[in-house]
Amino acid sequence: MHQKTVRSRAKRKQPPRRRGYRMRVYRASRPSVDLPLIWSTQSPTEAWERVIQDSSIVRAVLYRSGRPFQQFRRV
């Protein structure tokens, strides 16, 4: 009976891991702004591309699970 329980647990598939993504945006003459937290299985590439394309943003940092994941700096 115990072996059957162990096998049934082993067969269960784990759900995909969701990570928390947060963007911190720095504009030229204003203090930094944290964008809302995004829970996702993949990096939020569309939102990140929009941030990079915005000409008023001087620097941006993408955090994944509280740690810096990607950075962007306009020269």
pLDDT digits (tens, 9 = 90+) for 29-53: 888 999 999 999 998 999 999 999 9
* Helix (H/G/I), strand (E/B), else coil: 69: strand
Per the prediction, the chain carries an average pLDDT of: 87
Of the pLDDT bands very low, low, confident and very high (cuts 50, 70, 90), residue 61 is: very high
Residues 51, 60 contacting (CB under 8 angstroms): yes
Which residues, in sequence order, are CB contacts of 24 under 8 Å at separation 6+?
32, 33, 34, 35, 60, 61, 63
Does the pLDDT of residue 6 top 70, yes or no? no
Of residues 75 and 36, more confidently modeled = 36
If you ran DSSP here, which 8-state letter would residue 13 be given?
P
Total-model pTM: 0.74
Alpha-carbon distance 47 to 63, whole Å?
A: 13
The answer to whether residue 9 scores a pLDDT higher than 70 is: no
